Structure 1
Amino acid sequence: MTSAELEKLKYPIGQFECPSNISEQIIESWISILEHFPNRLENLVKDLSDKQLDTVYRPDGWTIRQVVHHIADSHHHSYSRFKWTLTEDKPVIKAYYEDRWAELMDTRTAPIGMSLSYIKALHEKLVYILKRLSEEDLNKCFVHPETNNEVKLNYNIGNYAWHSNHHYAHIENLLKRNDWL
């Protein structure tokens, strides 16, 4: 497999590119992605067998099961980051080793239903908050400890809309390649 082919498998929709001017319309479109993502994801994976769930989406990548559990874990962290940022002044967030989390027993073996339910509840709460943020709220930021960069909430909304579509594409592309759709 060429490096270009591997890159396409890693980033099937490309990497997140945030527009320099984040308009209200862009925010609304990102929130809509987050609002509809849990049902889209569930519809994509609900009929998969354990063997299919335990298939990697790319060489040296995670299984579909790990991806679903990763989404729940990652979006859990994102939700906390939104709440910290709305209640503290430029909080330094807690980073985590997503690769290590993905190798934990629950992520490798647990039924995906628990994460699908969690993603639904989490996104419902997140979207409720996001739809009510003021312009001032959207410009609040947290600090990422690994880069020391300030991350605005408006950017983070887009990043997690992208993250949702990014992992959805990982799974969907695997299902298409294996003729499972």
Structure 2
Amino acid sequence: MPLQNGARAAAEAQWQHGKPAAPPRRRAGAAVALLLLRVAALCTSAAAAALAATHGAALRRAPFRFLLAADAIVAVYSAFEAAAAAWEAATGATLLPEAMQLWFDFGHDQGFGYMALAAAAVAARDAASCGGGGGGREWRSAAGGAAACARADAAVALGFAGFAFLALAALVTGFRVARFLATGSRSAPPSTSDY
């Protein structure tokens, strides 16, 4: 079975230096950063979905139903990934085999991030008609004026924030994939001063 989760880097260091490798230290910096980004994406996406779900006039419009669905999916994904990041930060190991976990995280961060961006952009265009024009009368009469427009704007802003946190997470996971491809491990190899 191939070595995983940093064991390969430790074995190579032991072979190069001819000394027994020190016990691998957990480098949880990236895992903690990912955990914070995942929790932030979860909070903003869940809040955007909740605002869109409780806004009756907005739910009669297809862009806001799309925003609700996209942000609900992103919230569920972020909850799963937050649990995985917490596990990795606590134990130093990934839930799935290392290569599979890295590619899973990187691919899904991008896919769900683009979905969240598309939903927020379409809903933003629709919410822009809330303040004026012909569509604005329909919004105000159905939902109670400026407060309805403010709720729609808040849902859209939180949807964009959810995308931003997923985009940052995609940058971190992309860096981890690149490091894995270069070194065979998602964490930095131990420095020579560790021996």
More helix by share: 2
TM-score by length of 1: 0.36
